[in-house]
Amino acid sequence: MTPTPPATTTAISPPGYRPDIDGLRAVAILSVVGFHAFPGGLVGGFIGVDIFFVISGFLISTIIFSSVEGRRFSLVDFYDRRIRRICPALVLVMLSCLLSGWFALLADEYMQLGKHVAGACLFISNFVLWGESGYFDAAAETKPMLHLWSLAIEEQFYILWPLLTLLAWRLSHRFLLLTLALAAASFAAGLYLVFNDQPAAFYSPASRFWELMVGSVLAYLSLHHPQMLAKSPNIQSFLGVSAIAAGLIAITKGAPFPGWWALLPTAGAFLIIAAGPGAWLNARLLSSKAMVSVGLISYPLYLWHWPLLSFSRIVTGREASLLLRIGAAALAMLLAWLTYRLVEKPIRFGPRRRQKALLLIAALVVLGLWGNQTFLLRGLPLRDTSAALKIKNEGDLGQDEYFQYASSAFPLCAPPAIQREAPEWNGHRRCLQSKSQAPEDIAIVGDSHAEHLFVGLAERLSEHNVSYFAKNGIPLADNPEFRRIFRYLLREQSIKTVVLAAFWSERITDPSGFATEIGETVDRLIKGGKRVYIVDDPPAFSFSPRKCKYDSNWFYTNACSEERRPLEVRRAGYRHALETLVELDQVTLIETERYFCRDVDCRMDRDGKLLFRDRHHLNLNGSRYLADRVVADHPDIGE
C-alpha cells in the first residue's frame, strides 16, 4: 500500500543511528527496574515507561513520515518489522512464564496468568488490567504479566498511527497538524480521567497516546525543521536530564498520574533527543559504552525483570527479601543479554524474515489459546504439580466476595439522618446496617478493619441494629474523612455503642499526636452518652494465607503460624495511647491478638478453617470467629 505524493515532494532521509537514544533507553529501563526491585529507594522510577513512550513515538514516526514522503512505505513491511522486533522476546518470556507457572502456581494464580497471557497475545493487556485493579495495589505484585500493559499501548499506537498518517497524507500532507491535534485531545482526556477515573487514566490509550505523539512531533521537526531543535544543545540536554531526575524524585505512587506530572519525563525525553548526539551529556554520558549496552537489551530486560520479581513474591508468599530481589534483577540482566544475542538479533536481522514473522504470529496464536484454555479451565487444578487445597469452605471469601456477601445479606444505610448529615453515605456499600427499619444502636467506625468486623458482629448481635461506616483513614472526630460521621453519631440518641477499629499500626505515624486526638475523640463520644469500644489490630502476618490454605508442593511450604514477638513489635508505638483510655469508665479495649495467638506464635487458622483473606484482614470465617469471642468476653456490648 504505497500512496503517490505530488511530483514536487522531496524524499526525506531519516537520521542515522544515535547511540545517545540507546543511552536514554538505559535511563528508562534502569528507572523501571529500580522502582520494581527497590520501590522504597526510587519512588518515581515508574516514569521510565513514559520515557520509552517518547522514544518509541520518535523512532516509529521518523520511519513512517520519511517512508511515506519518500513513496516507499508499505504497511506489510512495517508490520513485518514490528512483529520481528516485538515478538521474539515476548514469546520467549510468556512461554517461560506458562511453563514455570505450571509447576509453581496454584490453580487460581495459573488461571489469572492464562488470562493475562491471552490478553498479551492480542495486545490488549491494558484493557484486561484496567478491568481488574490498580497498578500500585498489593494484588499487582502477583501478576507476572502486569508490565505488558505498556507494550499493549505501544502496539495499539503502531496499529493506528500508520493508518492515520496515510490518511493525512492523502488528504492534506499535514502530519504536524494531525499530530498536534490528536496529542492535545489525548492530553485533555488524560487530565480529565486522572481526577475522575484513575485506572482509566493509567491504562487507556486515549489518555496515553499523547506521550508517544510527543515523540512524533519531535520526529516531524527533526525531518523538516532540524534548525528549530538544537539551538542550545548543552542547555537543552541538561534541562532534559534535570526534568527526568525531578520526576524520579518528586513523582510518587500517590500522585495524580499521568496528568500534568507526566510532562516531566516526556518533556525531559523530548529535550534530550532534540539536543542531538553532539550535546555534552548525550555524547559523554548517554553514548558511553555502558549505557548503550544496557539500552540495547532494554526491551528484553523490561520483559524479564517483572515476572522474576512477581514469581518471587508469589512463591514466597510475602515481600521478597532484598537479597532475593537483587538476585532477580541480576538474573533478568543475564537473561536479557542472552535473549538479545541468541533470540532477538538472529530473528530480527537474519535471513527468511517474512517466514519468521509468520512463525511468530503462529506462536502468539498457540500461546493465546493455551492461556485462554487455562483461564476457562480455572487454572487446571488437577495438574500433578498443583498443590491441593488443605482448607476450603464457604467462609473463605476474598475482599470482593466478602463485600458482595455483606451487601446481599444486609441493607445499605439509608436512614433520614444519614441523608441530612452525610448524604454521600446514603446507598453506599461502605455503609451497611443489620436491620432496615429498627433504630441503630451500635455503630462500627473505621477503615477496612471496621468492615471485616461487621458481618460477624451483625450476625452475633442479631437483637441489635448494627451499622458500620468505613473510610480510608483513622476514625478521629477531627479527621475530615470522618467529621460528618461523628456529627451523625453524636446527634443520634439511639446509638448507645460506638466501636472504633482501624489498622492502627499501619496508619499511625505520630504516636504522641495520636494519643491526644484519640483522647479528644473518645471524650466527645462519652460526653455524648456513648459507650466506646476500641478494637486492637489482629496480627499482621508477613505471609499470604495461601501459605496456610494449600498443602505443600515443589514450591510451596505449608505454614499457618508465625512467631508472636515480631508481630508485637510494630504494635508498640500506639498501644500505650489506647491502653491509657481504658482508665475511663466508658471505654473498653478489645485485644484481638489473644484470640489468634498463643504463648509463642500466632495462627491464621482455627479448627480447620482459614480466618484471614490476606495478611491482616479477616475473611467471613474470621469475622464470625472474632465476633463470637468478643461477645462471649463482653456480654454487655450494646447495652
The residues, ordered by sequence, that sit 6+ positions from 205 with a Cβ below 8 Å of its Cβ are 126, 153, 156, 157
Are 22 and 295 in contact, with CB atoms under 8 Å apart? yes
The residues, ordered by sequence, that sit 6+ positions from 522 with a Cβ below 8 Å of its Cβ are 532, 534, 581, 584, 587
Rg (CA), the chain: 29
SS3 (DSSP) at 156: helix
By CB neighbour count within 10 A (0-12 exposed, 13-18 middle, 19+ buried), where does 408 fall?
exposed
Maximum alpha-carbon separation in the chain: 94
d(CA 185, CA 450): 43
Position 421 pLDDT exceeds 70: no
pLDDT of residue 9: 40
d(CA 168, CA 318): 52
Q: Considering the chain, what is the average pLDDT of its residues?
A: 87
Cell of 468: 458500620
d(CA 359, CA 381): 31
pLDDT band at 395 (very low <50, low <70, confident <90, very high): low
Would you identify the CATH topology of the domain 399-633?
Rossmann fold (3.40.50)
> What mean pLDDT is predicted for residues 197-218?
94
Are 193 and 200 in contact, with CB atoms under 8 Å apart? yes
Looking at the chain, the whole-number percentage of residues with pLDDT higher than 90 is: 57
Residue showing cell 466476595: 401
pLDDT in tens, 552-594: 666 666 778 888 887 777 677 677 777 777 777 788 999 898 8
Whether the link from the prior residue into 258 is cis, omega within 30° of 0, is yes
Position 430 pLDDT exceeds 90: no
pLDDT in tens, 80-112: 999 999 999 999 999 999 999 998 888 888 999
Helices 75-104 and 107-121 pack at an angle, to 10 degrees, of 170
pLDDT of residue 636: 87
Q: Of 171-180, 200-209, 465-474, 571-580, give the lowest mean pLDDT range.
A: 571-580
Identity (one letter) of the amino acid at 471?
K
pLDDT of residue 555: 67
Are 20 and 277 in contact, with CB atoms under 8 Å apart? yes
pLDDT band at 205 (very low <50, low <70, confident <90, very high): very high
Position 487 pLDDT exceeds 60: yes
Q: Where are the domains of the chain?
A: 19-376, 399-633
> What mean pLDDT is predicted for residues 588-612?
90
